[in-house]
């Protein structure tokens, strides 16, 4: 990062795979002037099945890669890495390090009428209890119902976000939560923003949806504003995408998650 002009430095974003590009997409919509360096650790995905110690080690290596590229802040666009590694990353690096869990919790609790929260995520995220703990600490008495939804990631990665089979699976996952009377549903996985349209159709207006991509982008904007790190409009912002394992499938998925074309994906060596 340029000590003379840190505002011009890029944002760094990492995830265990390409799902974190939904966060990049939200960041580009909210902060179109910012340059971004993205790292997807596709060689070691998924993180959810690894031990907490391994997740912390991988997350430090991912962050180190981004910091070596001069980023002014690191966004951890991975729920599992946020749950297990965020305090270590914040203690290790001088730049601000932002996770995806706290912004989602803040957005959920901003609604004073919220009484019953449902949380869906990968098995690793739900097992970590990071969302449940953060919500319960902030608002004692809040009813929290969390369920692991492991079949959703493969559907999203196949691009089957309108497939009849997906709707059947979602119904199986959501019906028990709806029976408990949830008024808010937190999407605790960065793949899940691509399910927003189908979820909105299924749930209607009676359930408030909170997705980790848009809430994380809004939180990142606040942090950059507070630390006077917003990029001024000099030159066109850049987007550099690095993956630790290059494959045609990963590149195709990256386009799906980002929602647009981009330049050549580069190979990252950690």
Alpha-carbon gap, residue 207 to 87, rounded angstroms: 32
CA dist list (Å): 169 to 74, 166, 183: 34, 5, 20
From 36, 189, 203, 265, active-site residue: 189
Strands ordered across the beta sheet of 36-40: 97-98, 73-76, 11-15, 36-40, 239-243, 266-267
Which tokens belong to 246?
């290059």
Q: What are the tens digits of pLDDT across the range 188-230? A: 999 999 999 999 999 988 899 999 899 999 999 999 999 999 9
Q: How many CB atoms are closer than 10 A to CB 122?
A: 24
* pLDDT at position 248 over 90: no
Burial class (CB in 10 A: 0-12, 13-18, 19+), 127: middle
Q: Where are the domains of the chain?
A: 6-99+214-267, 101-212
Q: What are the tens digits of pLDDT across the range 29-60? A: 999 999 999 999 999 998 888 999 999 999 99
33 is in an annotated binding site: no
Q: What are the tens digits of pLDDT across the range 229-247? A: 999 877 889 999 999 999 8
Look at the chain and count its residues.
270
Dihedral (CA of 11, 38, 253, 177) sign: negative
**Dihedral angle, C-alpha 238, 243, 244, 246, nearest 10 °:** -130
Q: Please confirm, yes or no, whether 216 is among the known catalytic residues.
A: no
CATH class given for the domain over 6-99+214-267: alpha beta
92 is in an annotated binding site: no
48 is in an annotated binding site: yes
Dihedral (CA of 18, 24, 29, 30) sign: positive
Domain 101-212 CATH assignment equals 3.40.50.1820: no
Q: Which of the four pLDDT bands, split at 50, 70 and 90, describes residue 250? A: confident
Alpha-carbon gap, residue 21 to 191, rounded angstroms: 9
In this prediction, residue 4 carries a pLDDT of: 64
* Arithmetic mean of pLDDT, 140-162: 93
Q: Please confirm, yes or no, whether 189 is among the known catalytic residues.
A: yes
235 is in an annotated binding site: no
Q: What are the tens digits of pLDDT across the range 119-131? A: 999 888 899 999 9
80 is in an annotated binding site: yes
From 18, 78, 134, 174, active-site residue: 78
Which tokens belong to 76?
């951890």
Alpha-carbon gap, residue 207 to 198, rounded angstroms: 13
Which tokens belong to 118?
């449902």
* pLDDT at position 2 over 70: no
- Output the 3-class SS for the chain: CCCCCHHHCCEEEEECCCCCHHHHHHHHHHCCCCCEEEEECCCCCCCCCCCHHHHHHHHHHHHHHHHHCCCCEEEECCHHHHHHHHHHHHHHCCCCEECCHHHHHHHHHCCCCCCEEEEEECHHHHHHCHHHHHHHHHCCCCEEEEEECCCHHHHHHHCCCCCHHHHHHHHHHHHHHHHCCCCEEEEECCCHHHHHHHHHHHHCCCCEEEEHHHHHHHHHHHHHHHCCCCCCCCCCCCEEEEECCCCHHHHHHHHHHHCCCCCCCEECCC
């Amino acid at each position: 990062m340029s000590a003379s002009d840190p505002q011009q430095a890029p944002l760094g974003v990492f995830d265990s795979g390409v799902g974190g590009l939904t966060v990049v997409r939200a960041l580009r919509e909210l902060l179109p002037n910012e340059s971004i360096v993205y790292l997807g650790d596709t060689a070691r995905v998924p993180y959810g099945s690894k031990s907490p110690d391994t997740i912390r080690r991988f997350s430090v290596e991912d962050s180190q890669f981004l910091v070596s590229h001069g980023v002014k802040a690191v966004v951890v666009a991975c729920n599992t890495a946020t749950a297990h590694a965020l305090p270590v990353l914040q203690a290790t690096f001088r730049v601000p390090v932002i996770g995806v869990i706290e912004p989602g919790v803040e957005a959920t609790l901003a609604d004073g009428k919220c009484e019953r929260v449902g949380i869906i995520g990968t098995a690793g995220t739900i097992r970590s209890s990071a969302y449940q703990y953060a919500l319960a600490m902030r608002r004692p008495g809040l009813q929290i119902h969390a369920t692991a939804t492991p079949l959703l990631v493969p559907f999203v990665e196949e691009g089957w976000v309108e497939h009849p089979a997906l709707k059947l699976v979602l119904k199986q996952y959501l019906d028990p939560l709806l029976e408990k009377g949830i008024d808010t549903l937190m999407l605790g996985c960065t793949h899940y923003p691509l399910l927003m349209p189908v979820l909105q159709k299924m749930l209607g207006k009676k359930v408030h949806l909170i997705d980790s991509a848009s809430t994380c982008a809004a939180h990142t904007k606040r942090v950059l504003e507070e630390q006077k790190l917003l990029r001024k409009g000099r030159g066109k912002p850049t987007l550099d995408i690095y993956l630790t394992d290059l494959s045609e499938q990963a590149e195709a998925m990256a386009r799906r998650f980002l929602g647009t074309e981009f330049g050549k994906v580069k190979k990252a060596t950690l």
